[in-house]
């Protein structure tokens, strides 16, 4: 099944257009997000634009302490200033980290563990590179979507476990529904390169990681989610054809962020079983009918082993 056809299927089946969002939102319970969180510390990766920025702003409006982890200094400082101005919350902190660089992630994690506490980690940052490119460390750039999340989350689990009601939310994508976990070619060396499909595979890997972490760390509530197809800079630049065709039906960045907020803030979300995949404030299946995208425990364990070996290489 092509990703394009499956995106259309997923769009229709799970009400991804704006009118569908409005329909879905009728079932939301506004009270779930009517909270103030002055004592809660959040870390949002990719918080300088798109869904990450919209998420950080709404948390700041609720008086949460927000750590923004971003790659671009100038854009990050602009975003921080805007969030402070709009929310009136000064507790917005900036960390410049390239999440495609494993060494820099490890360094950040070690420093953060010594200086800060953390209640909620939101793995939002990601990239979709449409031609095969390598980092300075020889890693395929899209593959860092998985390795970066793995190192950051694994490294911060000990900090999270010290707090009450800790949570990890990973922003995945509906594109992962067309992918079965593939551990044979994490660096995309053996097959014709398709950046969109590689990205979708990364997002499948993130869902598998979420389920694996949930089993091993029951004190933390882990979830992954699909934000809907939102009109973000990432979609505009990496999926131009899709954006041109569906731009009038895409969600706003704020609409894309609302399920992230619900998972990060509400007691109703914490009452859901850990490990689930969410869309529009509800758990949904991680597999489409008849697609045979389920993986075996052995395949999932292989993914973890590969990521752990890679992560330790750069520590």
Where residue 100 sits, what CATH number does that domain have? Answer: 3.40.50.720
List the single range of 191-195, 273-277, 292-296, 304-308 with lowest mean pLDDT. 191-195
Instruction: Give the active site residue among 4, 21, 150, 199.
Output: 199
Residue 25 included in any domain: no
- Whether 22 is in a domain gets the answer no
Give domain status of residue 221, yes or no.
Answer: yes
Alpha carbons 270 and 282: distance in angstroms, whole number? 12
Number of domains in the chain: 1
**For residue 9, is it within any domain?**
no
Q: Rounded to an integer, what distance in angstroms lies between the CA atom of residue 8 and that of residue 2? A: 10
The reply to whether 4 falls in a domain is no
* DSSP H or E run through 223: strand 221-225
Q: Which tens digits make up the pLDDT trace of 55-72?
A: 999 999 999 999 999 999
Residue 11 in any domain: the answer is no
237 inside domain: yes
| Torsion over CA: 307, 43, 106, 166 (sign) | negative
The domain of 46 spans 37-313
C-beta separation of 29 from 268 below 8 A: yes
The predicted model gives 196-217 an average pLDDT of 94
CA dihedral for 209, 211, 214, 215, sign (positive or negative): negative
Span of 38-47, 178-187, 258-267, 293-302 with lowest mean pLDDT: 178-187
Domain membership of residue 276 (yes or no) is: yes
Angle, CA of 68, 237 and 45, to the nearest 5° = 15
Count of helix runs (H) and strand runs (E) in the chain: 12, 8
21 catalytic per annotation: no
């Amino acid at each position: 099944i092509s990703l394009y056809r499956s995106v259309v299927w997923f769009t229709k089946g799970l009400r991804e257009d704006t009118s569908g969002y409005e329909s879905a939102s009728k079932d939301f319970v506004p009270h779930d997000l009517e909270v103030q969180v002055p004592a809660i510390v959040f870390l949002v990766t990719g918080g300088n634009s798109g869904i990450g920025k919209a998420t950080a702003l709404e948390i700041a409006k609720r008086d949460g302490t927000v750590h923004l982890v971003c790659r671009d200094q100038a854009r990050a400082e602009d975003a921080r200033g805007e969030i402070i101005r709009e929310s009136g919350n000064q507790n917005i902190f900036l960390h410049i980290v390239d999440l495609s660089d494993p060494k820099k992630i490890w360094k950040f994690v070690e420093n953060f563990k010594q200086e800060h506490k953390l209640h909620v980690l939101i793995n939002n940052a990601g990239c979709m590179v449409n031609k095969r490119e390598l980092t300075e460390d020889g890693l395929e750039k899209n593959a860092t979507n998985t390795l970066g999340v793995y190192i950051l989350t694994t490294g911060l689990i000990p900090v999270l476990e010290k707090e009450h009601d800790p949570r990890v939310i990973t922003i995945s994508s509906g594109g992962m529904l067309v992918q079965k976990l593939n551990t044979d070619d994490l660096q995309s060396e053996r097959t014709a390169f398709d950046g969109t499909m590689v990205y979708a595979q990364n997002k499948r890997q993130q869902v598998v990681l979420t389920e694996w972490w949930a089993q091993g760390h029951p004190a933390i509530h882990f979830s992954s989610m699909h934000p809907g197809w939102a009109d973000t800079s990432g979609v505009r630049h990496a999926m131009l054809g899709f954006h041109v065709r569906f731009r009038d039906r895409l969600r706003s960045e704020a609409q894309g962020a609302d399920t992230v907020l619900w998972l990060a803030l509400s007691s109703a979300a914490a009452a859901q079983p850990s490990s689930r995949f969410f869309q529009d404030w509800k758990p949904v299946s991680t597999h489409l009918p008849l697609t045979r995208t389920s993986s075996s425990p052995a395949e999932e364990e292989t993914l973890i082993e590969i990521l752990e070996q890679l992560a330790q290489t750069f520590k």
